[in-house]
Amino acid sequence: MKNQKTILLVDDDSDYLFQIKFQLERFGYKVISADGQKEAEVLLQTIKPDLAIFDLMMENEDSGFILCYKMKRRYPDVPIILATAVSAETGFSFGINSEEERKWIKADLYLEKGVRPEQLQMEIAKLLKV
């Protein structure tokens, strides 16, 4: 596909990574995946994805936040989805509904893991404006 969009998918759960990569490719996206923060940081030195989906807790409890920060610093125009099960795992919940929350989280959208494929496709399309 000539205008195929590239998504960077980063998660340390290999099963989740496989499932979401499969869904995204089914939707017509090119997917570059990484199994953690360190691998993603290396990839970001050489690629600029059209969109990124990061897990929150990987090598560190804040790996997703760190990736969001580094990605926005390098590519401020690339939308980021933070997809996590942190609320289910820890009981801690947050959002990115206010300007103040977006200022420190640096993601464009927060999704709880377990999102239906159709909803994920719709949210990606909105962020990519396709």
Please tell me the pTM assigned to this model.
Answer: 0.84
Residue 107 resides in a domain:
yes
In the block, tokens 């570059």 appear at 32
- State pLDDT tens for residues 26-66: 999 999 999 999 999 999 999 999 999 998 888 777 788 88
In the block, tokens 């959002």 appear at 95
E-state strands within the chain: 6-10, 30-34, 51-54, 80-84, 109-112
- Domain holding 42, by residue range, is 6-128
And the tokens for 36? 């953690």
Residue 1 resides in a domain:
no
CATH number reported for the structural domain that contains residue 77 in this entry: 3.40.50.2300
Residue 116 resides in a domain:
yes
Residue 80 resides in a domain:
yes
- Domain total for the chain? 1
Residue 30 resides in a domain:
yes
Give yes or no for a contact between 50 and 41, defined as CB atoms under 8 angstroms apart. no
Q: Is a pLDDT exceeding 90 seen at residue 130? A: no
